[in-house]
Amino acid sequence: MAAPGYGKRSAPDQAPRRTDDFQLLPERERYIAAFVDRLPEGAAMTVKTLARQLPRYGQQAVSTALTALSVAGHLRRIRRLAGDGDQVRWVFRTFWSRTARDNEWWTTFLAAEDGRVTTTAPVSVSPPPYGVPAQTPAAVRPVEAETPDSPPMHGPAPTAPVGAPLAVPVVAQQPKSSPDHPSPGYLALAQLGCAEPRLALSANDCKQLEGLALEWLARGVSPAYIVQALAAGLPAEPINSPLGFVRRRLKQKTPPHQPSIPAPGTVGSPARRLLVECTECGAPGRPEALPDGLCHACRPGALPTRRTTTATDTQAATARTARDVHARVETLRALARTS
C-alpha cells in the first residue's frame, strides 16, 4: 500500500468486472492490467513496486506496459496539491479505469477533479469517491511516498482533534437570471461562443438552456468548467444546430455531485492544483496537453521526426568528411609531383 493520500484511485462509472476484460490487449498488457484492476484503493502504483509483485516481468517491461495502458485509455498519472496556505505538498496518484476511456472523457473527469475544494481539517477517514484526497492526522507523516522525490510539506504540521466532525459541503442554490442580473448559468452559455465559435448561442438559446446549466452549477462545478466540458472534443463535421448540440451535451455529460465552489463575484479564481504526469517520462502538464497520458516528446508520432533528422545530419557530416579527404589527397599528390 502507498502512503495515505497516494496510490491507486478508481475512476467512476466503470463496467462490472468480467472474465474477458482486457481481451483485446497484448498478453503482457492484459496480464498487468488484470493485476492492477484487482488492487485495492490506495495501492502503490510505482513501477518498482509493481515489478516486485509481478515475477514474470521486470521494471522496464512494467513501465512499457503502463504506457501502453495509458494510451489504451485505462489509466492516468496525476500530481495534486494537498493542504492549504504554506502547508502544502504534492501527492501523486494513478487513476485507473477498467473501462477504456477516450481523451475527452479523461480531460473532463480530471477538470472536475481539479475543481474540487477540500473544506475539512485533516483527519483520518476513508478516501471519498472519485479520488478526493484522504486526509490524515498531522502527527502521521508518510513513511513511503509513491515517488521518492516528492516535495516535503513546508511549515509546522496542522493538528486536528481526533473524532472531530467532518464539515459537509453545502451546495449554494443558483439564482435564476433577470434582464439586469443574468445567472451564472446564463453567463456560462453566453461565453461558450467566445471559446468555440461553432457553439455560439443567441440570447433566446441561452434562456432555453439556462435551466440545464444551473443544474450543472448546483452539482458544484464552475462556469469555466461548463464552457470547457461543452467545447471539448467537437466533431470535425459542421455543427448545423448549436442549440440542439449544446442541449444534448448538457443532458449527456451531467457531472457528478461535487463540493461547492466560490460564489459568483468572488475576487480571483482558485489556482490549478492538479497536473497530469506523462506516463512515460513523468513530465507534468495540463490534462488537455497530454493526450493518451503522454507528452509531445513521448508520443509515437514524434519519434520518426527525431530519427529522420538524426539520419540526415549524419549523412551530411559523412559527405563533408569525404570531400575533405579527397581535397587532402589531391594536395598531397600535387606536392609529390613538385618535389
- Cell 495540463 locates to 286
- Per the structure, the complete domain to which residue 214 belongs is given by 184-258
125-173, pLDDT tens digit by residue?
A: 333 343 434 433 333 333 334 444 444 444 444 444 444 443 434 444 4
Q: Say yes or no: 158 and 225 in one domain.
A: no
294 φ/ψ sector (left φ>0, alpha ψ -120 to 50, else beta):
beta
* Domain contains 245: yes
Q: Say yes or no: 16 and 50 in one domain.
A: yes
Q: Say yes or no: 23 and 96 in one domain.
A: yes
Q: Are 138 and 82 in contact (CB under 8 A)?
A: no
Q: Say yes or no: 81 and 155 in one domain.
A: yes
Alpha carbons 64 and 51: distance in angstroms, whole number: 12
Q: Say yes or no: 157 and 38 in one domain.
A: yes
Q: Say yes or no: 40 and 127 in one domain.
A: yes
Instruction: Tell me what pLDDT residue 130 has.
Output: 38
* Domain contains 57: yes
* Domain contains 179: no
Q: Which residues of the chain have pLDDT under 70?
A: 84-86, 116-180, 258-272, 301-323, 338-339
Q: Count Cβ atoms within 10 A of the Cβ of residue 161 and give its class: 0-12 exposed, 13-18 middle, 19 or more buried.
A: exposed
Q: Say yes or no: 43 and 136 in one domain.
A: yes
* Domain contains 269: no
Domain count, the chain: 3
Instruction: Tell me what pLDDT residue 269 has.
Output: 46
Q: Say yes or no: 127 and 228 in one domain.
A: no
Q: Say yes or no: 96 and 240 in one domain.
A: no
Q: Say yes or no: 240 and 98 in one domain.
A: no
